[in-house]
Structure 1
């Protein structure tokens, strides 16, 4: 089987004005790069331009650092905000969980099957319940219990582990703890959370029971980047499933688990594939080529 083509990916945003696409593509052309794929979006309300460019990594004739330093000069001239990513780099993803296993299982399975291009060096939990899953897949498991009195101490241990394992992205796979604003600021744009779509109408414990009592007709889930305001961060992915009166609380919960798995996986995949640009409190999520 032929090896997958390696790519350099640039994510660019700037004030919308004429000539940006032409100038950028010319810059790469002059340096003999083949543009494999180019996606763009203009937000006419915000007056903002967004672009994602994939280059053939085989055309890289300098070091990666030199490429980025060279592009930084061009970006400064045109006042571009930008990121550069490389498809041959496997992001290191930490998963934080509590007692619920469905999202954890799904992420590990998708990683093992090659759907999520990443490594999972560790799993962190405030409960010991899911250690058996970590052991099954031979992933180091760190049990860090937390109480209101020990929250700051426990969070410091979490942050220390993330640094020790050189983590790139943190996924809250039903981690039932609120992170401090300091934690979130340190990992801005690198923490992905999942919650059921009943929020904010059914916040707190047993939302599916209260959803049943209200006779809901749709169940949904939202994957988003964590922010200082609880569950208010930039949305990456959402989905809904229609339900009816025949489903009790347990049936609604099963449907909810399935949509949570799918939505979280899509959100994580988009992040790992460098398809997301954050602007203010929203995201531009470019589609996958597949």
Structure 2
């Protein structure tokens, strides 16, 4: 394992006095330097969350650093991890027939502004093949019917293993994942929902919004769970509309929001800024 120059430490645990000092003292003693640090206390749950970026002295690899931190993690019963900040997570994207979110992700990845390594695109339609291959990425056509859903999901799961993906992004993949696949992907799948959750779930949310005469529409990026569109929310955004906007115009506005929101969520997850807090998240965004 090669030496690392910079690490990201994330953890959550029961709050206690001296916790931050203990972490800072350990790394200071080893010669590490803090470059960025964020923390949050959930007072209701008495739970503490922290994300810190450390500059590393020469000679340490990731395994050594994790071993040195492990006793402290055990002492405070932390849910913790340490990452190489220069290592980009491997991402598989799933899409159906709408390509606005996919195109935004691919463009940000290609120009180097999105810190991920996209390893392929999977789809139940062939519509996005040309776009994917224009970016010189593998396209995996995995058609699905009601009768073949278990077999198709097995293919998706196998593909994730084959490409060694760290997480899956559903970029307007218009299929409901089974409970089994959701459990396998717990904390490793991000979905973009074309609505400002928890309102207007299910089909045709913009038509629902139009029927209710809403003044704001939005999009929600969240972790995938077995409860449809109920996963922990990572990011949301809204745009003002009025009675003059048709459902089609609302949908067009919504597509722009979706692309922005999904990009943010993927970036923050890739940078280890998103920590789970029960059915919510703590997001240390910039």
Change (3 A) 1:257 1:18: same
1:238 is aligned to 236
Conservation of the 8 A alpha-carbon contact between 1:198 and 1:207: no
How far apart, CA to CA, are the structure 1 residues paired with 2:218 and 2:103? 20
- Residues 1:69 and 2:67 aligned together: yes
User: Equivalent of 2:282, from 250, 274, 284?
Assistant: 284
Deviation at 1:201, TM superposition (A): 4.8
1:89 is aligned to 87
Matched position secondary structure for 1:192: strand
Q: Unaligned stretches of 5+ in structure 1? A: none
2:54 is aligned to 55
Change (3 A) 1:44 1:206: closer
Conservation of the 8 A alpha-carbon contact between 2:122 and 2:140: yes
Conservation of the 8 A alpha-carbon contact between 1:33 and 1:60: no
Conservation of the 8 A alpha-carbon contact between 2:11 and 2:81: yes
How far apart, CA to CA, are the structure 2 residues paired with 1:203 and 1:278? 22
1:46 is aligned to 45
Conservation of the 8 A alpha-carbon contact between 2:14 and 2:76: no
- Residues 1:197 and 2:201 aligned together: no
How far apart, CA to CA, are the structure 2 residues paired with 1:78 and 1:50? 12
Deviations 1:8-55 (A, max 9, x none): 000011101100001110011111111112211111111111111110
Matched position secondary structure for 1:156: helix
TM (norm. structure 2) is 0.95
1:218 is aligned to 216
RMSD: 1.5
Deviations 1:177-198 (A, max 9, x none): 1112221222211100010225
Deviation at 1:227, TM superposition (A): 0.7
- Residues 1:266 and 2:267 aligned together: no
Change (3 A) 1:203 1:46: closer
1:186 is aligned to 184
Matched position secondary structure for 1:205: coil
Conservation of the 8 A alpha-carbon contact between 1:13 and 1:81: yes
How far apart, CA to CA, are the structure 1 residues paired with 2:123 and 2:229? 20
Conservation of the 8 A alpha-carbon contact between 2:36 and 2:52: yes
Deviations 1:93-123 (A, max 9, x none): 1000010110000000111122211111110
Deviations 1:112-166 (A, max 9, x none): 1222111111100011111111121111111111111110000000111110001
Deviations 1:243-266 (A, max 9, x none): 011211221111100111111111
Deviations 1:186-219 (A, max 9, x none): 2211100010225565344333233323322110
